[in-house]
Amino acid sequence: MSKDSEKLFDAMGNIDDEILKKTENRAGKNKMWFGGTSLFACICLVAVALIITSRNNSNKTGNGSEIIEAGSSNEETNTPDTIVNETDKETEDETEKIKTVRYYFVSGYGEVDTNKRYDAPQNGEILLSDGLKNAIDDIGDKAFYSVYFELYKDGIKVELNDEIIENEMKRVGGRYQDGEVQSGLFTDTKEGIKYYSLAFFGSREQLTNYPSNSDLGIIMYLSTELMIRDGREIVDNNIFELDFETREKAVVCGYRDKRVE
Amino acid sequence: MEDSEIIRLYCNRDEQAVEETEKKYGSYCFSIAKNILGNEEDARECLNDMLTQAWLSIPTHIPDNLKFWLGKVIRNISINLRKKQNRKKRHDGMDVILSELEECIPSGNTVESYLESEELSRILNMWIKTLSDKDQVIFVMRYWKGVSVKEIARHQGITAKKVSQRLYELRNKLREKLEMEDIYI
């Protein structure tokens, strides 16, 4: 190892704040929706919100910012289709109009029955929790979903570990269509317990067509549904309710603005 | 608490400034130190040194961006501590980062003219700005924050292999840039 590489590493220390800010924002976005700790934090507060938020019809978010409706569904494409934002972006020689669609990630829906236990799925079978089923039935393609998996082998629940998660991620290639499969290792700071999670973020169509695993059974839960049921730690982060004009108000752990042509 | 409020506390020589700084940016800075040093004890020591430095520096120097300024301070403190520990107790992760950066060094030149660190930083900044947003994130996470490839992959929702491959391509690009600029480090 030469001093040259150290010098290069040192020189990286004087990187512009502008670059750091930009990368931090982008990294933060990914972290929020697809990462571990923040997602966990996000999800945990959803639990609080589920408990403490009153069900009013106000068009305001839990943290006071204005809600932008997710929009009507598009039966053909199965994606939310409301253009929520149009911005001008300066390119080298022209001004380009950027259109984006806002995709909300529903992570909680309705009351959670903490005593509810589902029958173990057989290998190759995929079950959806009540919360997830209700959300999909009611909200459909107006949003995306933040989902946690429980895995079963020969009818017995499997404790997640690096190997199991990696195999599952490899099996679906880390991604499935435009959906994202993610894993995380979380620490409950109160209890000091570490645990893994296997999460999926995707549309109704992606969820309902998620490829089954002939070696494992899967139960899919809305992420907060599982967190609340398992009594996991609640920590602070920004989550909010969103009214999709359904029988229950959905809790949303974030959104992603996706560019559309 | 807003950064401006924290800075106001520093300016008033209120020790709560240090508490608030640690509360708001402690874990961010700690992770940078830990990535560089590889152990929590040393990282904690660097965090304490950083808080002391913040106390001594502000208000003489008012940072434009408190978070990144603190990040840079702890990064420098951590690098210096690591140098002090001097090769004996090298942290594997840091060694790997340095060996990766070795690939960016233009070859075939004797080190005759040394580039000043500031000039090198200027070129690096210019080069990073030419990268796509995603590449910027990957490169900065790895070589500014010292984040592991696996963690970047998790963060970015891509496989570790893809991150390694992308970093390899970026290092090559940087080497080409340095060669093109006729730069000897």
B157: nearest CB among A9, A15, A34: A34
Per-residue pLDDT at B34 exceeds 50: yes
Distance, in Å, from the CA atom of B142 to the CA atom of B96, rounded to the nearest integer, reads: 11
Decide if pLDDT at A173 tops 90: no
Instruction: Indicate if the pLDDT at residue B73 is higher than 80.
Output: yes
Cα A140 to Cα A218: distance, rounded to the nearest angstrom = 21
Mean pLDDT, rounded, for B122-135:
88
Q: What is the predicted pLDDT for the residue at A229?
A: 81
What ipTM, to 2 d.p.? 0.74
CA atoms within 13 A on the CB side of B47: 23
Q: Is the pLDDT of residue B70 over 90?
A: yes
Measured between beta carbons, which residues in chain B are less than 8 angstroms from residue A26?
A: 133-134, 136-137
* Mean pLDDT confidence for A154-174: 80
A106 compared with B183, residue with greater pLDDT: A106
Interface probe for A, chosen from B137, B174, B175, B177 (most Cβ of A below 10 Å), is B137
Please judge whether A17 and B185 are an interchain contact, meaning their C-beta atoms are less than 8 angstroms apart. Answer: no
The model's pTM: 0.43
B interface mutation test: which of A2, A7, A8 has the most B CBs within 10 A?
A8
User: Any idea which residue has 């709560």 for tokens?
Assistant: B16
- Determine the pLDDT at residue A142: 83
Residues B94 and B146 sit within 8 Å (Cβ to Cβ): yes
Q: Does residue A146 register a pLDDT over 50?
A: yes
Chain A CB contacts of B76 under 8 Å are: 13
Q: Give which of A11, A18, A234 is closest to A108, Cα–Cα.
A: A234
Burial of A93 (0-12, 13-18, 19+ CB in 10 A): exposed
Q: Which residue has the tokens 């390694």?
A: B164
Confidence class of residue B89 from pLDDT cuts 50, 70 and 90? low
Task: Name which of B95, B120, B158 is nearest A11 (Cβ-Cβ).
Answer: B120
- Partner A contacted by B134 (CB < 8 A): yes
**pLDDT at residue A249 in the model:** 76
State residue A255 phi and psi, 5-degree precision.
-150, 165
Cα–Cα distances in Å, from A103 out to A18, A106, B15?
A: 27, 9, 43
Confidence of residue A127 (pLDDT cuts 50, 70, 90): very high
Residue A235 or residue B21, greater confidence: B21
Tell me the count of A-B CB pairs closer than 8 A.
Answer: 113
Asked if B109 and B134 touch (Cβ cutoff 8 Å), the reply is no
- Answer whether A260's CB lies under 8 Å from A99's CB: yes
Q: Can you tell me the distance from the alpha carbon of B57 to that of A27, in angstroms, rounded to the nearest whole number?
A: 29
Q: Please judge whether B102 and A2 are an interchain contact, meaning their C-beta atoms are less than 8 angstroms apart.
A: yes
Torsion over CA of B34, B39, B40 and B44, rounded to 10 degrees? -70
Confidence class of residue A23 from pLDDT cuts 50, 70 and 90? confident
Once rounded to an integer, what is the mean pLDDT over residues A168-185? Answer: 60
Give percent above pLDDT 70 in chain B.
87
CB contact under 8 A, A11 and B137: no
Decide: B134 and A26 in contact? Cβ < 8 Å. Answer: yes
Residues B116 and B73: their CA atoms lie apart, in Å, by 20
- Give the mean model confidence (pLDDT) for residues B135-152: 87
pLDDT score, position A220: 93
Nearest one of B86, B99, B147, B43 to A35, comparing CA atoms: B147
The alpha carbon dihedral of A92, A95, A97, A103 has a sign of positive
State residue B62's pLDDT score: 86
Give the pairing type, strands A156-157 and A193-202.
unpaired
Task: Compute the nearest-CA separation of B15 from chain A (Å).
Answer: 25
3-class DSSP state for residue A190?
coil
Q: Is the peptide bond before B63 cis (omega within 30 degrees of 0)?
A: no
Per this entry, what is the length of chain A?
Answer: 261
**How many Å apart are CA B178 and CA B185, to the nearest integer?**
9
pLDDT > 80? residue B33: yes
More confident call, A62 vs B7: B7
Asked if residue A31 lies in contact with residue A38, where contact means CB atoms within 8 angstroms, the answer is yes
Binary contact (B136, A22; C-beta < 8 A): yes
Interface touch B79/A10, C-beta < 8 Å = yes
| Cβ contacts of A64 within 8 Å, gap of 6 or more | none
- Predicted pLDDT at A89: 52
pLDDT of B21 strictly over 90: yes
Q: Is A28 on the interface with B (CB under 8 A)?
A: no
A56 contacts: CB under 8 Å, gap ≥ 6 = none
Does A176 or B28 have the greater pLDDT score? B28
Percentage above 70 pLDDT, chain A:
54
**A 167-186 near B (Cβ less than 8 A):** 169, 174-175, 180, 182-184
Q: How far is CA A239 from CA A32, A67, A151, A181, B4, in A?
A: 11, 12, 27, 21, 25
Which tens digits make up the pLDDT trace of B160-178? 878 888 898 898 888 888 8
Amino acid A80: pLDDT: 42
Q: Which two tokens stand for residue A175?
A: 């991604």
B68–A contact, CB cutoff 8 A = yes
What percent of chain B has pLDDT above 90?
Answer: 14
Q: Coil, strand or helix: which one is A107? A: strand
Average pLDDT over residues A149-178: 78
